[in-house]
């Protein structure tokens, strides 16, 4: 392509495309938006969905994809083959230097590199690059590209500031004063520009004016944001006050810390939700919260309280983002769901466990009891400066265990409850949040609709504010409605709200059970029939987050159809995509959804939807637990209902991932099943998730679920279910160290098993009772219980159980010094495990054989056994057993005198334990340090 035919794309101003000296005609705003989206990614594929977002943002019509294809076709008529298709998406065939954005970025990067040796030349290069700007970036396009325009403007300002630094460094201060004065007027809170103006004035002999600039900035920050100037601006101010003729350079952007300086051993959580877009008002509350930062002699707690929808969370999150940089060790956040319509507030133990996970505490180190967990949590925060945000708290009892004990931390709590007990006992500072003032409500609408739109219909704006009762949530939804229907006048919108039936009830803000149904209905009415039905039936899900498969089961459709409905709800702002493929909505929308379900879906329909959803969880969980524990006992499940969507999991890794993603749903689903009369589902689901909960350390949660399961099985008249649930309760009591409770539960299960004549159940109960005895130091009793388990498994013809029991007997014999007998039992176990195809059991038995041979002094045979176990564990991906076997293999090598081999085995085990965050890693690391063999 010759120079005359070369296309140039200009985005730094009005969007234009030139071919040589000729500007090509692109008259449509939508065409310019598509062109700009492609030109921002030259030489890269841009999806049709991304182009839809560029044109319509979140408010795209149903025909958006077709319209985008037509827009691209028209652009091709102008640009020729500059736009090509790749797998149904599009790409602009252009080099970065054909787009002024690319030329600008390249020029600025070159200037920054040049500044190291020649700041004067760098300043000239920056000025030259800035001449590419012909006005505000991406002018003449649709609002869908507003975020990209903002990012480009930030790059322009950053380049300007860099250039000013270089000019100030070469003595150009006097010539910059006028330009900087104008820019500071345009960006009064941009501290780097303010610092540059102060420095230019001071060096020009105008120190009084420099100090006045600082004073105005200080007042503006305090009034608008309830903040003080940053440390660098304050330091510059002090230097000028001292009449330093050459204070340090103006404020520069923070440089990233070098890798060597980062803290790799301590997790730094960043859990704050996304910053609140368009936040307005609440100046006095922001100022009060910021004032708490100066109190460093005591534990600081702020309790933001107010009614539903008043903006407690918005205030807490907005302020937290403003001050996040003052908490160098991170920010913790949890939604305690204290007033969730499901009636399932987050338990303090679950919240603390989430915080400890975020702080990098290995699961194995987390104690079982709430008091011990709270103590560990406070210890983790003792020497760290962390902001803790406890959102939507139920009451004082729920939050008290979550409070740090360190004066370096600050806790912000939001709740509908005044939390009076916390104010009295912990000295919490109450920050009551009332309805918005008229001025604040006006600013909120203006931030979303633009002041120009409001100025056209001032009376209608006042009506809307009053009709929404000054409630931020209602005002925000009104603004969204206006955005969704740009041709609708504000007066007509106010008329619709005024005329809606039972408006006062619709806008009642006094209780969580009362929703803003009139406001929500505006978005609801725009939904397709499929999305509306999805919205109604979502209220049956216990929450807090629902997957596509669970949602598909609720409505009885395919996953693709369900995902389309969920995406439509997300676009309508009736749902949020919490993470990829997982959706959630807040409590007011849930209440509205439940009301619509009661109105529009009969009891039989709701019952069938609940049945399908519970089938999804039960059948998927049962299949997943069999993948984690083959060959496990199996429940006799009733075939799932038509329309229930059961996830197909390929292996134990996918099973584990599924359990982890759904963990928070299980206890609520089990309780919901029991409350709705699905008692068999309740106990069978509790059993199906039990093995995962034990492995993952969710023991307190499991106790609650198994207690619900036992009662459900009793109501259903299913004693087998009672026994199975009692055994699982006994297993988890063992993990919690509650051995008396474990023994009592297992004895109840054994009694039921005996009355039912369930030999396998009796065997399982005896096997687990053996673990209780072993844990309490009663090794002979544990051995006898293992033998009783074997006899019962043998009588029942349960070969997999026989193999487990034989290996357990062999292991107990090694603990009692009966190593020769252990070899005989383990050999039988190995043969049976191979016969039933249990590779996990086979690997475990090879490990037991290795231990027995080691204790008999038969080191070479022990090494062979351990290697056999390792080979199987590696194939199975069983990482923790690998590490255990490698440690025992190292001990065998050490006793045999081969210290180098021992060291190699332990070195192989260490990274596995480190990856698992297992506490044994530190023990092994110390062993390696003490016993490093001589070269």
Give the pLDDT of residue 820: 92
Q: Residue 500 — very low, low, confident or very high, per pLDDT cuts 50/70/90?
A: low
Mean local confidence (pLDDT), 649-667: 88
Q: State yes or no: pLDDT of 543 exceeds 70.
A: yes
H-type helices in 115-145, by residue range? 119-130
In sequence order, what E strands does 691-817 have?
none
Report the C-alpha dihedral over residues 170, 172, 173, 178, rounded to 10 degrees: -150
Report the C-alpha dihedral over residues 47, 50, 56, 61, rounded to 10 degrees: 50
Residue pair 733/741 in contact by the 8 Å Cβ criterion: yes
Secondary structure string (H, E, C) spanning 32-64: HHHHHHHHCCCCCEECHHHHHHHHHCCCCCCCH
Mean local confidence (pLDDT), 516-527: 65
Out of 86-90, 503-507, 531-535, least confident range: 503-507
Every domain of the chain with CATH number 3.40.50.300 lies at: 283-427
Distance CA 388, CA 272 (A): 9
The length of the chain is 935
| Interstrand relation of 429-432 and 546-547 (parallel, antiparallel or unpaired) | unpaired
Q: State yes or no: pLDDT of 44 exceeds 70.
A: yes
Closest CA to 745 of 720, 726, 773, 759: 726
Q: Which helix (H) or strand (E) holds 544?
A: none
Q: Collapsing DSSP states into helix, strand and coil, what is residue 392?
A: strand
| Interstrand relation of 83-86 and 300-305 (parallel, antiparallel or unpaired) | unpaired
Give the pLDDT of residue 295: 66
Residue pair 711/670 in contact by the 8 Å Cβ criterion: no
Per the prediction, the chain carries an average pLDDT of: 85
Closest CA to 700 of 472, 439, 374: 374
Structure tokens at 436: 């918005």
Mean local confidence (pLDDT), 611-632: 89
Out of 24-33, 571-580, 686-695, least confident range: 571-580
Residue pair 75/31 in contact by the 8 Å Cβ criterion: yes
Q: State yes or no: pLDDT of 365 exceeds 50.
A: yes
Every domain of the chain with CATH number 1.10.10.10 lies at: 1-170, 527-601
Q: Collapsing DSSP states into helix, strand and coil, what is residue 520?
A: helix
| Interstrand relation of 45-46 and 83-86 (parallel, antiparallel or unpaired) | unpaired
**What pLDDT, in 10s, does the model give residues 301-337?**
888 887 667 788 889 999 999 898 889 889 999 988 8
Query: Which CATH number is associated with domain 527-601?
Result: 1.10.10.10
Distance CA 454, CA 474 (A): 17
Structure tokens at 243: 């009449």
% residues pLDDT > 90 (the chain)? 38
**What pLDDT, in 10s, does the model give residues 548-591?**
999 999 999 999 999 999 988 887 767 878 778 889 876 657 77
Mean local confidence (pLDDT), 67-83: 86
Q: Collapsing DSSP states into helix, strand and coil, what is residue 248?
A: coil
Structure tokens at 577: 């995509």
How many Cα atoms occupy the beta-carbon half-sphere of 170 within 13 Å?
A: 16
Tell me 251's DSSP state: P
Distance CA 397, CA 389 (A): 16
**Integer Rg of the chain from CA:** 34
Q: State yes or no: pLDDT of 1 exceeds 60.
A: no
Give the pLDDT of residue 424: 73
Distance CA 316, CA 385 (A): 18
Distance CA 324, CA 270 (A): 9
Q: Collapsing DSSP states into helix, strand and coil, what is residue 97?
A: helix
Which distant-in-sequence residues (6+ apart) come within 8 Å of 600 by Cβ? Answer: 536
Structure tokens at 518: 């009139």
DSSP-assigned states of every residue in 297-334: SS-EEEEEE--TTSSHHHHHHHHHHHHGGG-TT-EEEE
**What pLDDT, in 10s, does the model give residues 234-287?**
888 888 887 764 565 555 554 443 333 333 345 789 888 877 767 888 888 988
Mean local confidence (pLDDT), 9-24: 90
Tell me 3's DSSP state: G
Pick the residue with more confidence: 629 or 314?
314
Mean local confidence (pLDDT), 66-88: 84
Q: What is the pTM of this model?
A: 0.54
Q: State yes or no: pLDDT of 230 exceeds 80.
A: no
Mean local confidence (pLDDT), 492-508: 60
Q: State yes or no: pLDDT of 417 exceeds 80.
A: no
Give the pLDDT of residue 371: 84
Q: State yes or no: pLDDT of 514 exceeds 50.
A: no
**What pLDDT, in 10s, does the model give residues 813-869?**
998 999 999 999 999 999 998 988 787 789 889 999 999 999 999 999 999 999 999
Q: Residue 476 — very low, low, confident or very high, per pLDDT cuts 50/70/90?
A: confident
Q: State yes or no: pLDDT of 652 exceeds 90.
A: no
Closest CA to 403 of 535, 505, 299, 313: 299
Q: Within 10 Å of residue 371's Cβ, how many Cβ atoms? A: 10
Give the pLDDT of residue 387: 94
Out of 168-177, 507-516, 726-735, least confident range: 507-516
**CATH superfamily ID and name for 283-427:** P-loop containing nucleotide triphosphate hydrolases (3.40.50.300)
Pick the residue with more confidence: 382 or 665?
665
Q: Collapsing DSSP states into helix, strand and coil, what is residue 255?
A: coil
Which distant-in-sequence residues (6+ apart) come within 8 Å of 837 by Cβ? Answer: 630, 631
Q: State yes or no: pLDDT of 359 exceeds 70.
A: yes
Closest CA to 418 of 512, 315, 291, 307: 307
Which distant-in-sequence residues (6+ apart) come within 8 Å of 442 by Cβ? Answer: 454, 461, 465
**What pLDDT, in 10s, does the model give residues 903-914?**
999 999 998 877
Out of 291-305, 351-365, 811-825, least confident range: 291-305
Q: Distance from first CA to last CA of the chain, Å, rounded? A: 67
% residues pLDDT > 70 (the chain)? 89
Residue pair 287/379 in contact by the 8 Å Cβ criterion: no
Distance CA 565, CA 567 (A): 5
Residue pair 409/377 in contact by the 8 Å Cβ criterion: no
Residue pair 13/135 in contact by the 8 Å Cβ criterion: yes
Report the C-alpha dihedral over residues 843, 846, 848, 849, rounded to 10 degrees: 170
**What pLDDT, in 10s, does the model give residues 718-775?**
999 999 999 999 988 987 889 999 999 999 999 999 999 999 999 999 989 998 998 8
Q: Collapsing DSSP states into helix, strand and coil, what is residue 243?
A: coil
Distance CA 806, CA 829 (A): 5
Closest CA to 235 of 252, 222, 223, 220: 252
Pick the residue with more confidence: 87 or 175?
175
Distance CA 431, CA 287 (A): 11
Mean local confidence (pLDDT), 705-713: 96
Residue pair 487/520 in contact by the 8 Å Cβ criterion: no
Q: State yes or no: pLDDT of 3 exceeds 60.
A: no
Distance CA 729, CA 706 (A): 6
Residue pair 148/188 in contact by the 8 Å Cβ criterion: no
| Interstrand relation of 429-432 and 410-415 (parallel, antiparallel or unpaired) | unpaired
Out of 54-63, 475-484, 743-752, 912-921, least confident range: 912-921
Q: What is the largest CA-CA distance in the chain?
A: 101
Structure tokens at 135: 């006005």
Q: State yes or no: pLDDT of 694 exceeds 60.
A: yes
Which distant-in-sequence residues (6+ apart) come within 8 Å of 178 by Cβ? Answer: none
Q: Within 10 Å of residue 235's Cβ, how many Cβ atoms? A: 15
Backbone CA torsion sign across 240, 243, 246, 248: negative
Strand partners, 699: none
Query: Residue 311, by phi and psi: left (phi above 0), alpha (psi -120 to 50) or beta?
Result: left
Distance CA 367, CA 854 (A): 33
DSSP-assigned states of every residue in 524-550: HTTS-HHHHHHHHHGGGS--S-EEHHH
Q: Residue 880 — very low, low, confident or very high, per pLDDT cuts 50/70/90?
A: low
Pick the residue with more confidence: 580 or 800?
800
Query: Which CATH number is associated with domain 1-170?
Result: 1.10.10.10
**What pLDDT, in 10s, does the model give residues 183-210?**
888 888 888 899 999 999 988 888 888 8
Query: Residue 561, by phi and psi: left (phi above 0), alpha (psi -120 to 50) or beta?
Result: alpha
Q: Residue 48 — very low, low, confident or very high, per pLDDT cuts 50/70/90?
A: confident
**What pLDDT, in 10s, does the model give residues 383-394?**
788 999 999 888
Q: Collapsing DSSP states into helix, strand and coil, what is residue 22?
A: strand
**What pLDDT, in 10s, does the model give residues 177-186?**
888 888 888 8
Backbone CA torsion sign across 617, 623, 626, 632: positive
Give the pLDDT of residue 394: 82
């Amino acid at each position: 392509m010759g120079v005359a035919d070369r296309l140039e794309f200009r985005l730094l101003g009005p969007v234009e495309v030139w071919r040589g000296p000729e500007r090509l005609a692109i008259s449509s705003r939508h065409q310019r938006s598509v062109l700009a989206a492609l030109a921002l990614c030259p030489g890269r594929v841009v999806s049709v969905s991304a182009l839809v977002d560029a044109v319509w943002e979140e408010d795209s019509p149903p025909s958006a994809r077709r319209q985008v294809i037509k827009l691209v076709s028209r652009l091709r008529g102008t640009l020729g083959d500059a736009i090509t298709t790749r797998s149904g998406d599009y790409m602009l065939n252009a080099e970065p230097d054909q787009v002024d954005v690319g030329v600008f970025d390249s020029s600025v990067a070159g200037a920054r590199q040049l500044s190291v040796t020649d700041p004067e030349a760098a300043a000239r290069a920056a000025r030259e690059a800035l001449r590419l700007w012909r006005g505000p970036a991406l002018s003449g396009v649709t609002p869908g590209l507003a975020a990209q325009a903002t990012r480009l403007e930030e790059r322009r300002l950053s380049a300007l500031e860099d250039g000013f630094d270089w000019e100030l460094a070469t003595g150009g201060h006097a010539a910059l004063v006028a330009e900087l004065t104008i820019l500071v007027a345009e960006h009064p809170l941009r501290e780097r520009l303010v610092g540059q103006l102060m420095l230019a004035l001071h060096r020009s002999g105008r120190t009084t004016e420099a100090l006045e600039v600082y004073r105005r900035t200080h007042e503006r920050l305090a009034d608008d944001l309830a903040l003080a100037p940053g440390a660098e601006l304050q330091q510059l101010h002090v230097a000028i006050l001292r009449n330093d003729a050459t204070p340090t350079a103006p404020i520069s952007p923070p440089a990233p810390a070098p890798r060597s300086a980062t803290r790799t051993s301590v997790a730094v959580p960043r859990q704050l939700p996304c910053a609140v877009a368009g936040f307005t008002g609440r100046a006095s509350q922001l100022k009060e919260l910021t004032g708490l930062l100066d109190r460093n002699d005591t534990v600081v707690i702020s309790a933001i309280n107010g009614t539903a929808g008043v903006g407690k969370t918005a205030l807490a999150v907005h302020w937290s983002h403003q001050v996040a940089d003052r908490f160098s060790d991170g920010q913790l956040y949890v939604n305690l769901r204290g007033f969730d319509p499901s009636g399932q507030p987050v338990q303090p133990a679950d919240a603390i466990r989430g915080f400890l996970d975020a702080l990098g505490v290995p699961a194995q180190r987390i104690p079982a009891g709430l008091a011990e967990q709270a103590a560990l949590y406070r210890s983790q925060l003792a020497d760290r400066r962390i902001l803790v945000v406890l959102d939507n708290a139920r009451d004082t009892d729920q939050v008290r265990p979550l409070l740090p004990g360190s004066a370096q931390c600050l806790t912000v709590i939001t709740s509908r409850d005044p939390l009076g007990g916390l104010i009295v006992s912990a000295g919490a500072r109450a920050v009551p949040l009332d309805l918005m003032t008229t001025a604040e409500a006006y600013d909120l609408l203006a931030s979303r609709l633009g002041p120009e739109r409001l100025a056209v219909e001032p009376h209608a704006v006042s009506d809307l504010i009053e009709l929404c009762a000054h409630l931020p949530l209602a005002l925000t939804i009104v603004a969204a409605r206006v955005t969704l229907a740009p041709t609708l006048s504000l007066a007509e919108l106010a008329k619709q709200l005024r005329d809606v039936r039972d408006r006062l009830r619709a806008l009642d803000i006094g209780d969580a059970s009362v929703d803003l149904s009139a406001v929500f209905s505006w978005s609801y009415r725009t939904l397709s029939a499929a999305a509306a039905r999805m919205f109604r039936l979502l209220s049956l899900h216990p929450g807090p987050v629902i997957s596509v498969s669970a949602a598909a089961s609720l409505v009885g459709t395919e996953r693709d159809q369900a995902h389309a409905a969920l995406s439509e709800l997300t676009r309508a702002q009736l749902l949020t995509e919490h993470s990829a493929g997982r959706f959630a909505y807040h409590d007011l929308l849930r209440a509205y959804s439940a009301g619509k379900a009661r109105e529009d879906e009969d009891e039989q329909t709701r019952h069938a939807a609940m049945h399908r959803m519970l089938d999804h969880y039960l059948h998927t969980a049962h299949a997943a637990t069999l993948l984690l524990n083959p060959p496990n006992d199996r429940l006799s499940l009733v075939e799932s209902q038509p329309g229930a969507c059961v996830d197909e999991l390929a292996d134990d890794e996918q099973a584990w991932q599924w359990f982890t993603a759904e963990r928070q749903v299980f206890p609520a689903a089990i309780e919901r099943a029991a409350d709705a009369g699905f008692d068999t589902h309740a106990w069978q689901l509790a059993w199906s998730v039990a093995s995962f909960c034990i492995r993952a350390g969710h023991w307190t949660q499991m106790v609650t679920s198994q207690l619900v399961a036992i009662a459900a099985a009793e109501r259903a008249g299913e004693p087998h279910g009672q026994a199975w649930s009692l055994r699982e309760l006994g297993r988890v009591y063992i993990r919690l160290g509650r051995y008396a409770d474990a023994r009592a539960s297992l004895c109840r299960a054994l009694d039921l098993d005996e009355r039912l004549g369930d030999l396998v159940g009796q065997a399982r109960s005896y096997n687990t009772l053996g673990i209780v005895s072993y844990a309490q130091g009663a090794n002979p009793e544990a051995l006898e219980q293992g033998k009783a388990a074997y006899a019962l498994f043998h009588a029942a013809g349960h070969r997999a159980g026989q193999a487990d029991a034989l290996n357990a007997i062999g292991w107990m014999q090694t603990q009692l010094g009966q190593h020769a007998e252990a070899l005989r039992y383990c050999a039988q176990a190995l043969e049976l495990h191979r016969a039933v195809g249990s590779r996990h059991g086979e690997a475990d038995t090879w490990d037991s054989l290795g231990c027995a041979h080691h204790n008999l002094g038969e080191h070479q045979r022990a090494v062979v056994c351990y290697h056999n176990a390792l080979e199987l564990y590696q194939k199975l991906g069983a990482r923790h057993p690998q590490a255990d076997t490698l440690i025992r293999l190292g001990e065998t090598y050490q006793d045999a005198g081969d210290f180098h081999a021992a060291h190699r085995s332990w070195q192989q085990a260490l990274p596995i334990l480190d990856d698992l965050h297992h506490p044994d890693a530190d023990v092994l690391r110390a062993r390696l340090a003490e016993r490093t063999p001589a070269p």
